[in-house]
């Protein structure tokens, strides 16, 4: 698509890392050296690619994106290089590939780490010579494209495991732009929230959504954001619909997965809960409730079901653990769910299933 057809999204942030990336974009945009953008899912790799394109002399030509992980091998090859009529069963007419469409512009290869090995050699040839052959053609066509690739994988590890060609890696990685995860640049969170809030107001004209208070923002900044900027954007959109940062914060706290922010005291509490006992053989205590060895063998054979005993015993342990944790945290269900590593919704379902009640309350 051409510059006028894409919504240019600025690179938002005030952190040192984002400012350095912004400077790097300015410095390399007109060099047309191949760029490899790396970073976790959701950090904004495509945004960086669009900014490179917008700042380059190629901005008046096409920006063409292809997701290398979204298409099977045969379809990916035909999409990249095109095909002649009759090249395969359903090739009823000639089709131009992305290399041809992106001529004089930018070809953005998203998820390049997922490109099948069989196609990597052909990609290497196209990058080295600027020439490619459509499927079903004996001719080679010349193209002038600026290739920007992106991946959330460690390609050097992929090279070691023989899933990515080393020569293709060095051909793509002339300029590397590594985008750090949002948890490593928390000073960007507030400006990103404000940006998304302002940009989404036209989408939700009836919304009464607001920016977070200072205390709410402190909690949001303390969250690890495993989905990075994309997750933050989705959270802002949801807040504008539900008009409640407390609800968003509660949901995020239940989904917290970053072990770096895990509270060791909570882990200790969890372990103490699971292994707490009164010194007796707990296995004997549990089994004695379900198996009466004083009855005759025929009755035992009819009544014992290991699967049923396992389920009942598991339910009992689960109920006692949930009850203990809830009492320890003062019935703060969000914190209890975080300690138990289950979602808030799952905790509510289990408290209902096991009839676990706050003392003095009723269903």
* Tens-digit pLDDT profile for residues 284-334: 555 555 555 555 555 555 555 666 666 777 788 888 888 888 888 778 887
Contacts 24+ apart (CB under 8 A), 318-324: 318/350, 318/354, 319/350, 319/354, 319/356, 321/273, 321/274, 322/347, 322/350, 322/351, 322/354, 322/356, 323/354, 323/356, 324/273
Cα-based distances in Å from 77 to 83, 96, 134, 249, 343: 9, 12, 9, 44, 42
Q: Which helix (H) or strand (E) holds 273?
A: helix 264-275
Q: pLDDT at position 126, please?
A: 93
Q: pLDDT at position 6, please?
A: 53
Kindly report which listed range (96-110, 137-151, 293-307, 332-346) carries the lowest average pLDDT score.
Answer: 293-307
pLDDT score of 40 more than 90: yes
pLDDT score of 118 more than 70: yes
Kindly report which listed range (40-54, 181-195, 198-212) carries the lowest average pLDDT score.
Answer: 198-212
The structure's pTM equals 0.69
Answer yes or no: are the C-beta atoms of 67 and 79 closer than 8 Å.
no
Q: Between 310 and 173, whose confidence is greater?
A: 173
Kindly report which listed range (35-39, 125-129, 201-205) carries the lowest average pLDDT score.
Answer: 201-205
The overall average pLDDT reported for the chain is: 83
Q: pLDDT at position 360, please?
A: 55
Q: Which domains does the chain have, with CATH numbers?
A: 3-180 (3.40.50.300), 183-259 (1.10.8.60), 262-353 (no CATH)
């Amino acid at each position: 698509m051409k510059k006028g057809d894409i919504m240019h999204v600025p690179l938002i942030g005030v952190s040192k890392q984002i400012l350095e990336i912004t400077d790097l974009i300015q410095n390399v945009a007109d060099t047309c050296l191949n760029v490899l953008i790396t970073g976790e899912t959701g950090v904004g790799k495509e945004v960086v690619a669009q900014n490179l394109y917008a700042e380059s002399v190629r901005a008046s030509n096409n920006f063409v994106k292809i997701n290398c992980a979204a298409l099977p091998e045969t379809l990916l090859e035909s999409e990249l290089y095109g095909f002649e009529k009759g090249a395969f069963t359903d090739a009823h007419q000639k089709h131009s590939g992305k290399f041809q469409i992106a001529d004089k512009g930018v070809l953005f290869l998203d998820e390049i780490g997922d490109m099948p090995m069989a196609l990597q050699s052909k990609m290497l040839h196209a990058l080295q010579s600027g020439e490619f052959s459509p499927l079903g053609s004996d001719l080679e066509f010349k193209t002038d494209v600026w290739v920007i690739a992106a991946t959330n994988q460690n390609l050097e590890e992929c090279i070691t495991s023989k899933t990515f060609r080393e020569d293709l890696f060095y051909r793509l990685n002339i300029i590397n732009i590594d985008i750090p995860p949002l948890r490593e640049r928390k000073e960007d969170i507030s400006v990103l929230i404000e940006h998304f809030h302002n940009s989404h107001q036209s989408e939700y004209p009836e919304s009464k959504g607001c920016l977070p208070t200072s205390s709410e923002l402190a909690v949001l900044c303390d969250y690890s954001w495993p989905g990075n900027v994309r997750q933050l954007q989705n959270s802002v959109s949801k807040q504008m619909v539900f008009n409640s940062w407390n609800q968003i914060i509660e949901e995020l706290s239940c989904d917290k997965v970053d072990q770096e922010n895990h509270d060791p005291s909570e882990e200790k509490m969890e372990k103490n809960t699971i292994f707490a006992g009164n010194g007796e053989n707990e296995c004997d205590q549990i089994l004695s409730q379900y198996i009466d060895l004083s009855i005759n063998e025929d009755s035992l054979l009819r009544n014992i079901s290991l699967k049923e005993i396992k389920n009942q015993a598991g339910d009992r342990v689960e109920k006692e653990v949930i009850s203990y944790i809830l009492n320890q945290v003062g019935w703060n269900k969000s914190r209890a769910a975080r300690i138990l590593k289950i979602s808030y919704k799952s905790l509510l379902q289990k408290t209902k299933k096991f009839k676990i009640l706050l003392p003095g309350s009723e269903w």
